[in-house]
Amino acid sequence: MAREGNRHALLVGAGIFISRIFGLVRQTIFSHYFGVKTDAADAFSAGFRIPNLLQNLFGEGVLSASFIPVYARLLAEKDEKEAGRVAGAVAALLSMAVSIIVLAGVLGASHVIDLIEPGFEGAKRELTIRVVRVLFVGSGLLVLSAWCLGVLNSHRKFFLSYTAPVMWNLAMIATMVAFGRRMDLSSLAVALAWGSVVGSGLQFLVQLPVVLRLVRQMSFGMSAHVREVVHNFVPVFVSRGVVQISAYVDVLLAGYLPTGAVAGLTAAQTLYTLPVSLFGMSVSAAELPEMSSALGDHGYLNRRLNGGLRQIAFLVVPSALAFLALGDVITAALFQTGRFTHADARYVWAILAGSAVGLLAQTMGRLYSSTYYALRDTRTPLKFAIIRVILTTGLGYLCALPLPIALGIDPAWGVAGLTASAGIAGWVEFALLRHSLNRRIGSTGLPPSLTARLWASAAISAAAAWGVKYEIGMRHPRLDAVAILGVYGVAYFGLTYLLQVEECSRMVGRFLRR
């Protein structure tokens, strides 16, 4: 059973890795044409986030918590007729709700900007409004794509659902390559928004044929199980909404900082979300259907949760330390081209270093939330998410605006305070999730000895990589990054193997058998 779960996590991770690679390519090309400290970069980056609130509210996270547990249980009980009714009803309800919200977003885009980016003025504000109107249309398609993901994951078809975003990234890449040299930055931002809409449609359509084959008895009637999904949907929707307020606060505060803060935050979060998705989401997505099929067996849930936490920590700890110690190497290698300068790379590094503070808490917190959802408890994560947002808002304001002034530093660096404060709030939320769940299913978490070995291995490896960086410098960002990060990775795996970290030994063993 554990081996099957590992295989599913590997499939999710592989799919996410492929799609994220294309996402990095998209961000690199975006940086080449738009840079960081331009109005068009800020306008598109802000606009790109705003309609994504819709996707995040209605999409994967909410469906994972409300739809998958019910649908996966019906599949386990071989009740395909009722499973088809649930899938069809959820698709219909989602389509209706999203259509109304998309229409309201398109018509009221100017009011949305006034609420979310009051710091934008003049031509920058007008461009953001144009971008948002276009992107709202694509967001509706991305929500339907998330419904496909929920169906596919419940049927253990993980790879397709997580590689589908490649189509979205490809459409945006093709738009920038085709028009990047022929348009001014404002026109290119609008064209890129339309490229995103086309990609959203392709992402949905590439999954739909497989979904329709799997849901052979789809219907659209209401039932007790459909009502259960709706009942679970409401608190999770509110919970996701609360979390999105945190993202909204970041963008709002960044809008009051000098030009480049919003675009820099977006570039940093492109990197930050890579390990969150690869290692946190992959394990959580693979475990949720398994946990949902074993309701009542707390010992089983405890074992799966602890096993998943070890998998996450083994790969997230070195990711966090790499962002903190070697973020300039990573950022320069990926984004330093065209209008994106080495100074921009160092700026994004500072933001990324702040994000590293809460990286481990956020990835492990995803798995804890999945465990609550498997227990049909959607309200406990909501309470702790509210606490997190309150902390993020208060700390974010203090660290982004008054603190740089008090310290006498450039206000532009306040955006690093935003990400660091969000990380601190993430650790508080994680501690609350763990404490509450431990009282229900027994002791959970990482053994202290494992934690010490992981952090020590990562710290020694980072010191070795710094030595290489000092010797060779950063004259050729991409070539130098291969050497510096190569030393870091080899040293980390070597040390964890010598220290008998089980996850490393298992990974090395699988590699040698092949």
Tens of pLDDT, residues 500-513? 999 898 877 766 65
pLDDT at 299: 85
The DSSP result for 324-376, as a single string, is HHHHHHHHHHHH-STT--HHHHHHHHHHHHHHHTTHHHHHHHHHHHHHHHHTT
pLDDT at 120: 83
The number of beta carbons lying within 10 Å of the beta carbon of residue 3 is 7
Q: How confident is the model at residue 173 (pLDDT cuts 50, 70, 90)?
A: very high
Residue 383's Cα: distance from chain center in Å? 21
Q: Which residue has the tokens 């605006």?
A: 401
Distance between start and end Cα atoms, the chain: 22
pLDDT at 317: 96
Q: How confident is the model at residue 269 (pLDDT cuts 50, 70, 90)?
A: confident
Q: How confident is the model at residue 24 (pLDDT cuts 50, 70, 90)?
A: confident
- Residues 6+ positions from 182 with CB-CB distance below 8 Å: none
Return the minimum-mean-pLDDT range out of 204-213, 262-271, 305-314, 391-400.
262-271
Q: Whats the size of the chain, residue-wise? A: 514
Establish how many alpha carbons lie within 13 A of residue 86's alpha carbon, considering only the half-sphere containing its beta carbon: 26
- List the one residue out of 127, 396, 407 whose CA is nearest residue 251: 396
| Tokens standing for residue 261 | 């803060």
**pLDDT at position 106 over 80:** yes
The number of beta carbons lying within 10 Å of the beta carbon of residue 201 is 19
**pLDDT at position 175 over 80:** yes
Burial 18-48 (b: 16+ CB within 10 A, else e): bbbebbbebbbbbbbbbbbbbbbbbbbbbbb
**CB-based contact 369:433 (threshold 8 Å):** yes
C-alpha–C-alpha distance, residues 209 and 250, integer Å = 38
Q: Which residue has the tokens 């395909």?
A: 80
Residue range 371-418, pLDDT digits in tens: 888 887 878 988 898 898 889 889 988 998 888 888 888 888 898 998
For CA atoms 100, 104, 105, 106, give the dihedral sign. Answer: positive
The DSSP symbol for 184 reads -
User: DSSP alpha helices (H): ranges in 77-164?
Assistant: 80-107, 109-116, 122-154, 158-163
| Tokens standing for residue 300 | 């089983």
C-alpha–C-alpha distance, residues 163 and 166, integer Å = 6
Return the minimum-mean-pLDDT range out of 58-62, 143-147, 200-204, 332-336.
58-62
Residue range 63-77, pLDDT digits in tens: 666 787 788 778 878
Residue 43's Cα: distance from chain center in Å? 21
pLDDT at 359: 93
- The values of phi and psi at residue 86, to 5°, are -65, -45
- List the one residue out of 222, 164, 462 whose CA is nearest residue 325: 462
Amino acid letter, residue 400 = A
Average per-residue pLDDT for the chain: 85
Residue range 408-457, pLDDT digits in tens: 888 888 989 989 998 999 999 999 999 999 999 999 999 999 999 999 99
For CA atoms 479, 480, 485, 487, give the dihedral sign. Answer: positive
| Tokens standing for residue 171 | 């459409």
Angle at 233 between CA 57 and CA 68, to 5 degrees: 95
pLDDT at 151: 87
Q: How confident is the model at residue 240 (pLDDT cuts 50, 70, 90)?
A: low
C-alpha–C-alpha distance, residues 47 and 136, integer Å = 9
Between these two residues, 260 and 12, which has the higher pLDDT value?
260
pLDDT at 460: 97
**pLDDT at position 1 over 50:** no
- Residues 6+ positions from 213 with CB-CB distance below 8 Å: none
